[in-house]
Structure 1
Amino acid sequence: DQAALMYPGDIYDFPRPLLNKNGNNFSFSGLKTAMLRFREKNLENFSSKENAKMQILEEGPVLSSFFQSVVDVLIHKTFKAAETRGLKNISVSGGLAASQKLRSAFEEEAAREGKKLFYPPANLCTDNAAMVTCLAAHRYELEHFDDLTLDAFPNLIS
């Protein structure tokens, strides 16, 4: 978040996956691949530095540009979904919701679109991986297993 706030997000051009595709799906696998290719091409410029401050000065613009592409996709897809479903309120949560850059972008768009925005305090915005792992461990101990035909249903709006 520090780099995202210090540098503009348009210094490097990273893709915005699925931005102009219909539907509310998003995926960042293409973006992660683009970052990997960028790093491979520029390895000598962004090798690990002994001085962390020097490293953030050199890598900051790259990180900010990468993060801006994530923000752009999340903003576009979220507000498009709200518009499609006629929603007036939007809740932002999870690990990325702790980011000041992301919160600012959501606040700007919510004001522009006339939507009400809700998110928990930043210290309560955590990655869900630990919670999912804890539940999986508990289910394992109970020998409660799902077979491979289990289908995912991520939609919370009926």
Structure 2
Amino acid sequence: MTSSLSLEEAAEHFGITVSPKRMNWLQDALDDELASITVYPAAIEAMRLLRSEGMAIGICSNLAQPFGPVLRDLFREVDGFALSYELGVMKPHAGIYREICHLLSVRPSWDMKASSEQVVMIGDSLRCDQDGPRTIGIFGYHLDRTGAGRISSLTQFAELLLEQQCRLKRGE
């Protein structure tokens, strides 16, 4: 996930010998998986809500190269992508978080008095999406779709951010 390799290149890189017939089967299986990827409806709604308030949206993901074009196609309206296979580092490495901030022209900071803006991130990994971003001043949140955590949907997350933004504007 830190190299831009095709399936055949990855097999070669790791010294795995795969027959042409098996490689074709693997490629077909990967192509089927890529074609089956869809966007959570809550993601679409969350992005709509955040966009309506003028918020920049980026995607920071640990991802293998074949998934990148699919992700970019599904999320054309996103302002920036920090993808591990393109950057050569994976979350929770600070470099991937710095890159998405650079692409979005934002500066993470814990000092809310210096600016009314903040950089926030959400994802399904405590280590990579909550704890990792916090090391550089990004407010990281954990998405727990099981309902056991504080935030269980991206729509809920967007509504929480908009509520916080309203409180900041009122000086609360």
**TM-score tier (shorter):** 0.3 to 0.5
Which one scores higher on RCO, CA 8 angstroms, separation ≥ 6?
1
TM-score, structure 1 as length reference: 0.38
TM-score by length of 2: 0.36
Greater strand percent: which structure?
Answer: 2
